Chains A and B, each alone.
Chain A
Amino acid sequence: GAVVSQHPSRVICKSGTSVKIECRSLDFQATTMFWYRQFPKQSLMLMATSNEGSKATYEQGVEKDKFLINHASLTLSTLTVTSAHPEDSSFYICSASPSGGARETQYFGPGTRLLVL
């Protein structure tokens, strides 16, 4: 149990285009999901906290107009990278925290590798 999926697993796009990444909790409901970014050979950095039915909260330095987060249901959060540029190329990982549980319980998705040409 407690499976989180991400789609797509890998995406290549041209500079200036927008890319949507989906994070789904497959066998549980998640009121809260987190989005992390990992540049090559670096650590994971939290980008934002996604809350079902309300606006996401972004970490300092993360542009909310560039990284649009929508958490429209208890099993799906989406991250849209708008007008992507090569510097946005990274590994994006989401995690989901089961509804009704404590947030320290999080299940991670397999990640999405984004390459912007």
Chain B
Amino acid sequence: AQKVTQAQTEISVVEKEDVTLDCVYETRDTTYYLFWYKQPPSGELVFLIRRNSFDEQNEISGRYSWNFQKSTSSFNFTITASQVVDSAVYFCALSASWAGGTSYGKLTFGQGTILTVHP
């Protein structure tokens, strides 16, 4: 069974602060994908990143960065110099990558972290 845990239910920061959203996952699959999505109040999911389990390199995209630690089964997301527009619910998700498995393509989402950035 797959499981994704986002221990932080809500985080509140002041603009320009850095903030890290934690994500810990469990899976029996040897290969898998990890994702982060942003869900603004409109409800539409915004794709942020997909990471293959083979690739443990950290990634940076503008103010966003991701730290993948396979040894601790974590895939944390950091926003640098946060802005009010970053306020949203952020979901970490996991899917199996083996086409022969019954979980192929199915996304298991964490509980989500509500991020509020105050001016």
Contact = CB atoms under 8 A, between A and B. Distances in A.
A95 B47 CA distance: 12
B45 A43 contact: no
A115 B80 CA distance: 38
Contacts of B107: 34, 36, 44, 46, 95, 106
Give the interface residue-count category, chain A: 20 to 34
Contacts of B110: 43
A32 B43 contact: no
Interface of B: 33, 42-45, 47, 50, 91, 95, 97, 99, 104-112
Main SS of chain A's interface residues?
strand
Given A34-B107, A49-B105, A104-B50, A110 B33 contact: no
A111 B50 CA distance: 21
Nearest to A45: B109
A49 B95 CA distance: 13
A67 interface: no
A10 B97 CA distance: 33
Given A43-B109, A43-B111, A103 B104 contact: yes
A110 B43 contact: yes
